[in-house]
Amino acid sequence: MDKIAISLTVNGRLRQALVPSRMLLSDFIRHELALPGTHVGCEHGVCGACNLLVDGKAVRSCLMFAVQLDGSTITTVEGFGQDDLHPIQHAFWEEHGLQCGFCTPGMLAAAKELLDHNPDPTDEEIREAIAGNLCRCTGYQYIINAIRSAAAKLRTTETEAA
């Protein structure tokens, strides 16, 4: 099988690899880069567990080939809080939005994309942002609370920095 050279930035680190043309991004991230935080659920793009950020946008890594991301910047759940928990992660912990944790990496990616573009979302906007992510444990209310809390934390942090 022919392999293709790719170069991408993953969690702030330049990564280069030779990958089969049909290797899924989720498999590349998990197996080639040893970043197991990206969960694989349905493998059909339905559940959102495999979401990660590509150039700031939440995408389903089980639906993309690694070669498609040549030159891109990827952030996985491992890249959210390099030295400490990211405010979104901390809010999920504080507000009990984690439960079993299987959907959490995908939820965090969806939340980060939302909050990067909308620092003060309504509950309806939060629901819409996470609508493509399935959770079997929380009933979503704790996750909505966590994202609302994270938004407040991030706004406070930005205000203090200014």
Tens digits of residue pLDDT in 91-123:
999 999 988 889 999 999 999 999 999 999 999
Structure letter (DSSP) for residue 24: B
What confidence tens digit (pLDDT) does each residue in 29-42 have?
999 999 999 999 98
**Mean pLDDT, the chain, as a whole number?**
93
Task: Write down the pLDDT at residue 162.
Answer: 67
d(CA 157, CA 160): 5
Q: How far apart are CA 76 and CA 58, in angstroms?
A: 10
pLDDT per residue as tens digits for the range 121-131:
999 999 999 99
| Predicted pLDDT at 99 | 86
40 neighbors 50 (Cβ within 8 angstroms):
yes
**Structure tokens given for 85:** 């928990």
Rounded to whole angstroms, the Cα distance separating 143 from 109 reads 13
Give the whole-angstrom CA distance, residue 137 versus residue 144: 13
Token pair for 5: 């050279």
